[in-house]
Structure 1
């Protein structure tokens, strides 16, 4: 492969993608195993670690609204980052589908979480509970339709488009929540600042996915940097819920001390 890369570089001055992917330095392991994209795999594993930490903290947040929803969301994140780690270690048809569909599942579940969080009053009335059920059925329908379409014809561009659109919708929901909070309280509170940090950072990280450049040192491409940028976000979500629901969390205190 590297002979071909050298040929393109010396004769054409640029290197093309091969089957839609850049060339990477791979790491050989015992028993014939190979890590095809080391940086993306490492950063995916670190994301898996922070999501597991987030899941643990969600489980300890007894009595918060929609606790089961947050726990399910974290479990989906665990599956997503396991899928991503496997795909970047060993790219085949099965791991590729796991990665792409896992990412879509995580993104649409994040959109669902943002909608439910934006409308907290649904938990308090019978009408609200019916509205919540309708929203759940709506999301299940969209999810099922997407999975059926993708398994019939795996369209990478369409999957990425859906992920970007749903991420944008999630941002809109949280911005609406912040505007309403500012209107009701007159100023932004600590929880609002934490949410703004998540929104800005997550959208900046997502923007990295839109870049596409030859891997630096044949290791770091834009996608791996996206995975690097998302590592702290799960911890920040747990911090945000701690403050929002006034939970006295030792995990958050340790996090703040490390930043100080």
Structure 2
């Protein structure tokens, strides 16, 4: 059965890579403005087409991040257009669906990258703590470790996407985040309801894993081969995330009279996650053209994630020592 699950993962990953190479585009007020269009056409025709060596004149770190003359023209013309808007009393506008950010050593969204790396670190720390602290005999240790690995993968691609926004890095970021959210729901259901310990548990978890894999393959296929619908993608991830939140709320409610203070952490954590996600609703032009609501959301998830892993460790160890009332009493007071 493990081999079948592994083959499902390989099949998904192959389609995942293929889908990530397909392009998508969106237009915004800034890139549609005549001033920007004129600037971009002049830059490409004069600086790029008439001077093919222009790519080699870019700094090495920009070439390392796959900047070329054309993409650099798009960035430079955003600067010129923003200056034009400011001189005419027009607020900052979006370009190709995103705000203008000051580039730092070739990095497009410096603080989103930095805060994504913070999240990567806290997931790595969670992985190491679970590997050390959760007893090997615990029924869901392997699943929890996989969850942390998928989380690390999501934040790696978030960092890459914010370093350099391309059609490929965008899809790898969005699809990796979707995989983490969906696997988070699967992990929550198995962990909270101990599905793998119930009678017929392995067939149940296998069926659930298969259904989730097929749902995710359908999701990325729709976005890749039909249309890259940002609104649909957001709603799909939000819906799955809310289902996970309900599972965590239910756990805290079910154990409300247990006398164990850490059983409140799931409800508190998902409440904090929902409050932090509300930052995405208050979209604003970046402060100093560097920090926006999206980057602040990434920052807010760092301490929350730490406590989520702490809860998983606490509950897993507590489950393992369930046969010893004395140890349960001692551990419950930690």
Q: Which residue does 2:285 correspond to in 1?
A: 214
Q: CA deviation at 1:12?
A: 4.7
Superposed CA deviations along residues 53-106 of structure 1, whole A, max 9, x for unmatched, are: 111112222233311111111111111111011111111111111111111111
Larger Rg: 2
Q: What's the secondary structure of 1:218's corresponding residue?
A: coil
1:150 correspondence with 2:227? no
Alpha-carbon contact 2:279-2:294 (below 8 Å) kept = yes
Are the structure 2 counterparts of residues 192 and 125 from structure 1 closer, same or farther at C-alpha, using a change threshold of 3 Å? closer
Residue 35 of structure 1 aligns with which residue? 107
The alignment status of 1:92 with 2:166, answered yes or no, reads yes
Aligned to 1:53: 125
Q: 2 CA distance for matches of 1:107 and 1:245? A: 21
2:90 is matched with: 13
Most deviating of 135-144 and 238-247: 238-247
Partners of 2:276 and 2:128 in 1: CA distance: 24
Distance 1:100 1:125, change over 3 A: closer
- List gaps (5 residues or longer) in structure 2: 1-77, 319-334
Which runs of 5 or more structure 1 residues have no equivalent in the other structure? 29-33, 248-260
Is 1:171–2:245 an aligned residue pair?
yes
Per the alignment, residue 252 of structure 1 pairs with: none
Moved over 6 A (4+): none
Q: Which moved more, 1:81-90 or 1:2-11?
A: 2-11
Return the alpha-carbon distance in structure 1 between the equivalents of residues 186 and 127 of structure 2: 17
Q: After superposition, what is the alpha-carbon deviation per residue over 1:29-56, rounded to whole angstroms, capped at 9, x for unaligned?
A: xxxxx00100100001111111111111
CA distance in 2, matches of 1:163, 1:103: 8
CA contact under 8 A between 1:190 and 1:243: conserved in structure 2?
no
Asked if the contact 1:44–1:227 (Cα under 8 Å) also holds between the matched residues in 2, the reply is yes
In 1, Cα distance between equivalents of 2:192 and 2:265: 16
Q: Aligned equivalents of 2:138 and 2:302: distance in 1?
A: 24
CA distance 1:212–1:133, change in 2 (3 Å): same
Distance in structure 1 (CA, Å) of the matches to 2:117 and 2:197: 39
Matched, 1:180 2:257: no
Aligned residues: 238
SS in 2 for 1:126: coil
Which TM-score applies when normalising by structure 2? 0.67
Does the CA contact (< 8 Å) of 2:196 and 2:204 recur in 1?
A: no
Give the whole-Å Cα distance in 2 for the aligned partners of 1:99 and 1:125: 35
Normalised TM-score (structure 1):
0.86
